[in-house]
Amino acid sequence: MKEQLKIDFNKIKEVSNFSNRDIEIKKSYLNKFIENGFPNRKQENWKFLDINQIISNNISDLSFYNDYSIENKIDSSIFIDDLEHNKIIFINGRIEKIDFSYEDKKQIEIIEDSYTNDKSENNNSLIDLNIALSNKHSKILIKKGYSFKKPLIIYHLTNEKMKSKNINLRLDFELEQNSTLKLIDFFSDDSEKNFMNIFYNFNLDKDAILKNYKIDKSLNKNLKYSFNNINQKQNSISETFIFSAGSDYFKNEINCNLKGEYSSAFINGIFSLDDNKQHEIRTTINHLVENTKSYQLIKSVLGKNTKSAYQGRIYVDSKAQKTDGYQLSKAILLDETSEFNAKPELEIYADDVKCSHGSASGSLDDNSIFYLMSRGLNYKQAKGLLINGFLLDVIEKITDAEIKDLLKKMIGLKK
C-alpha cells in the first residue's frame, strides 16, 4: 500500500496546481498516514468495526489516484424532485456542478482555500489521508444575517467507471453571525468496492444555525467514512440527522465543540440495516463553557448478518457548569445473526450538571405483535408497523417540516 500511496501522491502532485507550501503540508500528512496506516481495532475508537480489516477484505487493490480532468455525465433522474433546492454535485469525487439559483449570490462566497491555513490537530489517520490526498479545499462562506432560502443538497454520486478507488473530499463551511444553512448530503452509488472519505469542517458564529441531514439510502457495495467537525459559538445551534442504510460500511463521526454559552447540539440517527451491512456512528460532544446543551437519539433496526455500533461521548469541562447532556440509543435485533454494540460514555468534571444516558436493545415485543395480529394484521404488517413506529420517533425530531416530510416519504413512513 505504501508504494501505491507514494506513486499516486506523485501523480496528484503533477496534475494539481497546489502551491509548494501546500504540497509540503500534504506530504507531511501523507507520511503521518503511511506511518499509522488505516485505523484498526487496537484503537479504542475502532474497537467495534475495524476499518483496516474491512478495507483489506473488500478492496484488494485500493488505488488513491483519481483523474479529475474528465467530465462526468450528470444523470438528472437522481435528483430529488419533491423539494426545491440548491445543488452541489460530486461525481466520483469531482465537482460537476454548483447551483445556488435560489439564493442571493452576494451573500454566499465560495473560496478556494489553501491548506496552509489548515491547523487541524488530530490523531485520526483518516483525516491525515484526507488532507494529504483531497484535490480541493473549498470553503463556503455564508455572510452575516443571511439565511438559505432553500436547502442545499450535496449529491455524492458515483458511476460504474470507478472501482477500487479511494476518494477524499473536503469542504469547509463558515456560518457568520445569525446565518442559517440547511444542508442535505445525499448519497447515491452506481459503483462498488470504493472507499470514500469525507471531511467537513463547520464554524458557527454567534446565533448561527446549521441543519445537516445525511441520507445514505440506496443500496451499494461501497465503504464510506464521514467526519464532521463542528465548532460552535454563543447561542448557535447545530442539528445533525443521519439515515444510515445503503452502503456496505458507513461510519459517521461527529465532533462537536460547544465553545459559546447557550449553544446546543442535536444529533439524531437511524440505522436501518440488512444483508451484511456494518454501520457505526461515533459522536463526541465537548461541553466547554457554561449553559450548553446536547441531545442525542440513535435507533437501529438490524436484519440478517448486520452489525451496528454507537459510540457516544459527552465530555463536560470543569468550567461547563449547568450542562445538560442526554444520550439514548435503542436497537431492535430482527435476526439471530444481527449484532448491536454501544459505548455511551460520560466524562464529567463539573458538578452542577444534568447528564444521563440510556441504551436498550432487544427483539420485537411479542405482545405487541400479538395485539396487532389479533386486530387483523398479518405478521409482516404487524412487524412493519412496529418498526415504523420505532423509527418515526427519530424522524419527528427533525425541526424542518419540509425535510421531515421528504424523509418520511423516502423511508416509506408516509405516502
Partner 1 sequence: MDTREKDIENLKDYKYGFTTDIENIKAPKGLNENIIKFISNIKKEPKWMLDFRLKAFERFKLLKEPDWQKPKYPKINYQDLYYYSAPKSMKDKPKSLDELDPKLLETYNKLGIPLQEQARLNGIAVDAVFDSVSVATTFKGELTKHGIIFCSMSEAIQKHPDLVKKYLGTVIPTTDHFFATLNSAVFTDGSFVYIPEGVKCPMELSTYFRINASETGQFERTLIIADKGSYVSYLEGCTAPMRDENQLHAANVELIALDDAEIKYSTVQNWYPGDENGKGGIYNFVTKRGLCKGKNSKISWTQVETGSAITWKYPSCILKGDNSIGEFYSIAITNNHQKADTGTKMIHLGKNTKSKIISKGISAGFSDMTYRGLVDINSKAKNSSNYTQCDSLLMGNKCGAHTVPYIKNKNFDSNVAHEATTSKISEEQLHYCQQRGLNPEEAVGLIVNGFCKEVLQQLPMEFAVEAQKLVGISLEGSVG
The site for partner 1 (CB under 8 A) is made up of: 44, 318, 321, 331, 333-363
- Comparing CB distances to partner 1, the nearer of 71 and 336 is 336
Distance CA 56, CA 249 (A): 13
DSSP 8-state class, residue 63: B
Distance CA 278, CA 109 (A): 37
- Nearest approach in angstroms of CB 63 to partner 1 is 35
**Under a CB-based contact definition with an 8 Å cutoff, are residues 59 and 378 in contact?**
no
- Comparing CB distances to partner 1, the nearer of 353 and 406 is 353
Distance CA 62, CA 316 (A): 40
- Comparing CB distances to partner 1, the nearer of 193 and 307 is 307
- Comparing CB distances to partner 1, the nearer of 88 and 331 is 331
- Comparing CB distances to partner 1, the nearer of 112 and 336 is 336
Residue 6 phi/psi, 5° resolution? -65, -40
- Comparing CB distances to partner 1, the nearer of 172 and 317 is 317
- Comparing CB distances to partner 1, the nearer of 291 and 359 is 359
- H-helix or E-strand spanning residue 181: strand 180-189
Q: Which of 152, 135, 176 is nearest to 13 (CA)?
A: 135
- Nearest approach in angstroms of CB 349 to partner 1 is 4
**Under a CB-based contact definition with an 8 Å cutoff, are residues 387 and 372 in contact?**
no
Distance CA 9, CA 33 (A): 12
- Nearest approach in angstroms of CB 270 to partner 1 is 18
Cell 457554561 sits at which residue? 290
CA angle 166, 172, 177 (to 5 degrees): 165
- Nearest approach in angstroms of CB 331 to partner 1 is 7
Listed in sequence order, the residues at least 6 apart from 250 whose beta carbon sits closer than 8 Å to its beta carbon are 216, 223, 224, 225, 226, 244, 279, 280
**Under a CB-based contact definition with an 8 Å cutoff, are residues 245 and 272 in contact?**
yes
- Nearest approach in angstroms of CB 53 to partner 1 is 17
- Nearest approach in angstroms of CB 322 to partner 1 is 11
- Nearest approach in angstroms of CB 337 to partner 1 is 8
- Nearest approach in angstroms of CB 344 to partner 1 is 6
- Nearest approach in angstroms of CB 74 to partner 1 is 43
**Under a CB-based contact definition with an 8 Å cutoff, are residues 303 and 332 in contact?**
no
Cell 465553545 sits at which residue? 259
- Comparing CB distances to partner 1, the nearer of 183 and 333 is 333
Cα radius of gyration (the chain): 21
